[in-house]
Amino acid sequence: MNKPHILVIDDEPDIRSLIRDILEDEDYEVSTADSAVTAQQARHECRHDLILLDIWMPNTDGVTLLKDWSTSGDLSCPVIMMSGHGTVETAVEATRLGAYDFLEKPLSIAKLLLTIERALEAEKLKQENIDLKQYSNTIQEPLGSSPQIQQLLEQARRLGQHDTRILLTGEPGSGKETLARYIHEHSTRKQGPFIELNTGIITSHNALEEFFGREDGDSIHYGLLEKANHGTLFIDEIGDMDSETQHRLLSALESKSFQRIGGHEEVKADVRVIASTRRDLEEAIQNGQFRKDLYYLLNVACLHLPSLKDRKEDIPLLLDFYLQHYIKRENLPKRKFTIAAQQFLSDYTWLGNIRELRNVVQRLLILGIGDEIGLTEVKTTLGESARSVITSNDIPIFYDLPLKDARAQFEKAYLDYHLDQHKGSVTKLAETTGMERTHLYRKLHALGIEFKGKR
């Protein structure tokens, strides 16, 4: 269990020393500051879990300092105010500015420890609520029950007990994020945060700020490495990362420290990194698109997720899971697949893997009627049924379709994939595809691709 880090700000040395001794005896990590200036410096050095702030200090008093943090959006942890000359008005003002509580001096050790415990617990619940809202639309699907997947999950559980970096490979939509979360939940860091970044949806000019944060005067924007401190940072599609960010990330992982953009102090970060890629990184290294040293740093252990067509026995499980999930989440009428429809979908090629399967089930529930989802409805939703069959040479039969039909099949899968990558943003999809937005909207409607529900 990681120790909460508490910053004690008080201009009286005896009080700082006493509080520090008490808190360290209680197994907290403690930093101290004797003024607003040294407090700002301490906050630039690391991200604290709680701050004890004295009101009466020379130059800048505690309420003014709290107000500065509150108005600039830098109040990133609970603040407990302390004073030997406090008034009700002062306590009310401090609470209005965001302080968690107000303690009178001389401090009662029992009350101090109880207030700290409650403040940290309240912050934990607050963060859990934020995470719950953030991931309320994130589907924690099973990866499957096939022998390949069960072996993979066993390897993931073993790796979870060791703090090694892991590289996940596999086709788009094969479940790399789900596996990363599984590793985190079976690791010694499971009580810490799980932070995700898809490098494909950030631009090169803000990638460094996203990773490392930014300092603008006394204002601090915390980056993903600090937010993931004592937890796991999952970097999705790391092969798309630009060269400058690769260089900075390599340095941060090697030294376990970094500087925020615009900052000068070294910030410590205890983070486990799990990265994923759909690309052949060794080929990218040969082409000068990926750093060899970063590749070997990340690739301590490598897990490969097979595509759905290589583990067809998992398809019925996934079909049923998503069927029940969307029925409950969107309050849709109950429906079930006929045996013929399920068998057809089990033989389908699923070029988009689990992501495509999920989208198909959702469309069938939203657009369909009746208690059963039959073969004809499935074929209509998928387009030409021939695309779902694999030839003996492992070549999709839709290659034998007329060019117009085959192109429509490809466009549908292509646009569906990139729309998911961009979280339903048609603007970003237009940039990726090079299509004018009006034409793109018409294309999406013509192909029956839903984009509003992906946001």
DSSP secondary structure letters along 245-262? HHHHHHHHHHHTEE--BT
Q: Are 4 and 30 in contact (CB under 8 A)?
A: no
Whether residues 283 and 314 share a domain: the answer is: no
Whether residues 129 and 78 share a domain: the answer is: yes
Q: Are 348 and 180 in contact (CB under 8 A)?
A: no
Whether residues 21 and 116 share a domain: the answer is: yes
Most distant CA atoms of the chain, gap in Å: 85
Show which of 71, 100, 134 is a domain's final residue.
Answer: 134
Whether residues 299 and 444 share a domain: the answer is: no
- Which three-class secondary structure state does DSSP give residue 74? coil
Whether residues 111 and 170 share a domain: the answer is: no
Give the pLDDT confidence of 356-366 residue by residue, as tens digits: 999 999 999 99
Show which of 108, 134, 160 is a domain's final residue.
Answer: 134
| Number of Cα atoms under 13 Å in the Cβ half of residue 349 | 20
Instruction: Assess if residue 139 is contained within a domain.
Output: no
* pTM beyond 0.75, yes or no: no
The range of the structural domain enclosing residue 189 comes to 147-306
Instruction: Assess if residue 83 is contained within a domain.
Output: yes
Give the pLDDT confidence of 240-299 residue by residue, as tens digits: 898 888 999 999 999 988 989 888 888 888 899 999 999 899 999 999 999 999 999 999
CATH of residue 123: 3.40.50.2300
CATH of residue 223: 3.40.50.300
Whole-Å CA distances, 185 to 144, 170, 189, 191, 435: 17, 21, 8, 8, 41
Give the pLDDT confidence of 435-448 residue by residue, as tens digits: 888 788 888 877 77
* Backbone phi, psi, residue 187, to 5°: -115, 170
Show which of 306, 324, 343 is a domain's final residue.
Answer: 306
Indicate whether 204 pLDDT > 80.
no
Whether residues 301 and 170 share a domain: the answer is: yes
Count the neighbouring beta carbons within 10 Å of the beta carbon of residue 109: 12
Q: Are 267 and 220 in contact (CB under 8 A)?
A: no
Rg (CA), the chain: 27
Whether residues 368 and 244 share a domain: the answer is: no
Indicate whether 425 pLDDT > 90.
no
CATH of residue 379: 1.10.8.60
Indicate whether 159 pLDDT > 70.
yes
Taking each continuous run of H as one helix and of E as one strand, the counts in the chain are 19, 16
Q: Which of 125-129, 150-154, 394-398 has the lowest mean pLDDT?
A: 394-398
pLDDT of residue 444: 83
The enclosing H or E element of 382 equals helix 375-382
Whether residues 157 and 302 share a domain: the answer is: yes
